[in-house]
Amino acid sequence: MDLDFASRVQRVEPSATLAISNLAAELEADGVDVVDLSVGEPDFDTPQNVKDAAEDALEAGKTGYTPSNGIPELKEAIAAKLADDGLDHDTDEIIVTPGGKQALFEIVMALVDDGDEVCLLDPAWVSYEAMVKIAGGSLSRVDLSPHEFQLEPALDELAEAVSDDTELLVVNSPSNPTGAVYTDAALDGVRDIAVEHDITVISDEIYKEVTYGVEQTSLGALDGMGDRTITLNGFSKAYAMTGWRLGYFSGPEQLVSQASKLHSHSVSCAVNFVQHAGVEALENTDEAVVEMCDAFEERRDMLADLFADHGVDVPVGDGAFYMMLPVDDDDQTWCEGAIEDAHVATVPGSAFGTPGYARLSYAASKERLREGVERLAEHGYL
Ligand code: PMP
Ligand code: GLU
């Protein structure tokens, strides 16, 4: 029987990041030793206190549905964290989701109608484009690659790319895939443009806690941004909890109440005992986060030095755990070759809207990173 698929799914491809990591996993299952620098996932285990909190919650029978938008304890802990970041949100302006990705999906589905324009800063994480397309929106894009991936020098281009017709702008700092942390002056510029054209902004702050020697300002804390910013965060990256699937977003009450319809009709709620572990992560895990960030910073520096030894200058950022390695214009072929010949998995920049680069995640041990660079050099990829 021929199934007649909805156009919304036919408009998009599967996630490139997950597709490559699946390919790497398949090769490994066939006995190939792959240096997998593709998927953005901390190589650390979830901190023990968080695991203990989940076990305690399970023992205490926290296994049923929860209130759809999240347990009060977690929403309160999130509201307190947001207040520390300068964001003023009551618990009824927060939805706890199974992963940050679901949060983004609900926001986009609640705001973007057929034909609505959404602006992305390229390179931009793969799922923004896909979600906008699923919602039927159109994209305008600003290329940050000529500016070493910084936003401040591209503000004029951003001002040109948007108009009164722009519905939504997505800002992700620290950035996946570049690691760039946008300056406060850049965020002020975003504020001015958003206010001028009455644009709603998604501030994807999932890497906010993963920075090296700098602090990421929350966009929603700027004057004039409180009622037009939706702030998204999650537990995957800062607390090494990718598989737990826990995230959240906060924003104006009206948006939260519309999005909560999508939430309650799709996922019902995030997992009960996982939400209890989330409280522990937010309240008692600062030390583990610092340790992980220190390790990422060392790896970033080591990797950039190794590439420099091979004559490749890689622009590095002060956050997240990614860098964009300049490669051939045909980055797709380069990445396919790198995985097939050198058994090093990376993601083509074109998946993020910026061809000519390969994204590397340096959330891997120093030995594996060294091995990856050696293999790329040996096989003529550097
Ligand atoms: N935003 C960005 C920029 C990301 O890189 C990710 C990574 N998956 C997410 C959101 C969502 O993460 P998760 O669903 O694991 O919380
Ligand atoms: N965000 C991570 C990445 O970009 C995880 C994979 C995904 O969700 O796309 O690699």
Q: CATH number of the domain that 33 lies in?
A: 3.90.1150.10
Task: Output the CA 379–ligand 1 centroid distance in Å.
Answer: 32
CATH of the domain at 232: 3.40.640.10
Q: Are residues 303 and 347 in the same domain?
A: yes
54 assigned to some structural domain: no
Q: Please give the pLDDT value at position 21.
A: 84
Task: State the pLDDT confidence band at 13, using cuts at 50, 70 and 90.
Answer: confident
- Same domain for 22 and 151? no
Phi and psi for 148 in degrees, rounded to 5?
50, 30
247 lines ligand 1 (CB under 6 A): yes
- Listed in order, strand segments (DSSP E) in 229-348 are 229-234, 247-250, 322-326, 344-345, 347-348
In the chain, the amino acid numbered 262 is L
Q: Judge contact between 121 and 161, C-beta under 8 A.
A: no
Residues of the chain above pLDDT 70, percent? 100
Let me know whether 297 and 341 are in one domain. Answer: yes
Q: Residue 318 — very low, low, confident or very high, per pLDDT cuts 50/70/90?
A: very high
- Are residues 299 and 277 located together in one domain of the fold? no
Domain that holds residue 127: 64-283
Same domain, 237 and 151: yes
Query: Is 51 a domain residue?
Result: no
Tell me how far the alpha carbon of residue 292 lies from the centroid of ligand 2, in angstroms.
18
Residue 16 has pLDDT above 90, yes or no: no
119 CB-near residues (< 8 Å, 6+ apart) = 139, 140, 141, 142, 158, 161, 162, 166, 168, 169, 170, 199
Shared domain for 164 and 310, answered yes or no, is no
Query: pLDDT for 184-229, tens place per residue?
Result: 999 999 999 999 999 999 999 999 999 999 999 999 999 999 999 9
Nearest to 359 by CA among 17, 100, 13, 42: 17
Q: Which residues of 196-223 are buried (b: 16+ CB within 10 A; e: fewer)?
A: eeebbbbbbbbbbbbbbeeebbbbbbbe
Mutate to test the pocket of ligand 2, among 104, 126, 354 (most ligand atoms within 8 A of CB): 126
Looking at the CA of 105, which ligand is closest?
A: 1
Pocket flag, ligand 1, residue 189 (CB < 6 Å)? no
Residues 270 and 369 reside in one and the same domain: no
What is d(CA 94, CA 90) in angstroms, rounded to the nearest whole number?
7
Q: Is 123 in the pocket of ligand 1 (CB under 6 A)?
A: no
Compute the mean pLDDT over every residue in the chain, rounded to the nearest whole number: 97
Q: How many CB atoms lie within 10 A of CB 126?
A: 22
87 shares a domain with 33: no
Question: Is 175 part of any domain?
Answer: yes
Ligand 1: distance of its center to the CA of 200 in Å? 20
Distance CA 158, CA 101 (A): 25
Pair (39, 81) in one structural domain: no
Q: Are residues 279 and 322 in the same domain?
A: no
What three-state secondary structure class fits 318? coil
Instruction: Name which of 211, 263, 301, 226 is nearest 97 in CA terms.
Output: 263
- 91 belongs to a structural domain: yes
Closest atom, ligand 1, to C-alpha of 102: 14
Instruction: Tell whether the model's pLDDT for residue 17 goes beyond 90.
Output: no
**Closest C-alpha residue for ligand 2 atom 2:** 40
Residue 59 lies in a domain: no
243 band by pLDDT with thresholds 50, 70 and 90: very high
Same domain, 258 and 291: no
- For residue 37, how far is the Cα from the chain centroid? 16
Burial 89-125, CB ≥16 within 10 A → b, else e: bebebbbbbbbbbbbbbbbbbbbbeeebbbbbbbbbb
The per-residue pLDDT for range 363-375, each reduced to its tens digit, is: 999 999 999 999 9
- Asked whether residue 57 is assigned to any structural domain, the reply reads no
236 Cβ below 6 A of ligand 2:
no
pLDDT band at 18 (very low <50, low <70, confident <90, very high): confident
Instruction: Report the chain's C-alpha Rg in angstroms.
Output: 20
Does residue 97 sit in the same domain as residue 216? Answer: yes
Please report the DSSP string for 48-106 in residue order: HHHHHHHHHHHHTT--S---TT--HHHHHHHHHHHHHTT----GGGEEEESSHHHHHHH
| C-alpha 304 – ligand 2 centre gap (Å) | 22
- Distance CA(144)–CA(352), nearest Å, equals 12
Q: What is the pLDDT of residues 123-166, one digit of tens each?
A: 999 999 999 999 999 999 999 999 999 999 999 999 999 999 99
Non-local (6+) Cβ contacts of 226 within 8 A are 87, 88, 220
Does the beta carbon of 175 sit less than 6 angstroms from any atom of ligand 1?
Answer: no
Distance 298 CA to ligand 2 centre (A): 22
Q: Which atom of ligand 2 is nearest to the CA of 16?
A: 9
Residue 328 lies in a domain: yes
pLDDT at 346: 97
Final residue belonging to a domain, choices 283, 309, 341 = 283
Mutate to test the pocket of ligand 2, among 12, 13, 15, 17 (most ligand atoms within 8 A of CB): 17
101 C-alpha to ligand 1 centroid (Å): 6
> Of the residues 283, 298, 316, which one is the last residue of a structural domain?
283
Give Cα 1 to chain centroid, integer Å. 38
Output the pLDDT for position 22: 86
Cα 339 from Cα 326, distance rounded (Å):
16
| Three-class secondary structure of residue 283 per DSSP | helix
Residue 56 lies in a domain: no
Q: Which of 239, 264, 283 is the last residue of a domain?
A: 283
Longest dimension (CA), the chain: 58
Q: Is the CB of 206 under 6 A from ligand 1?
A: yes
The label of the residue with tokens 């991936």 reads 149
Q: How far is the CA of 125 from the centre of ligand 2 (A)?
A: 8
C-alpha distances out from residue 74 to 36, 46, 275, Å? 34, 18, 7
Instruction: Count structural domains, the chain.
Output: 2
Residue 358 backbone phi and psi in degrees, to 5 = -125, 130
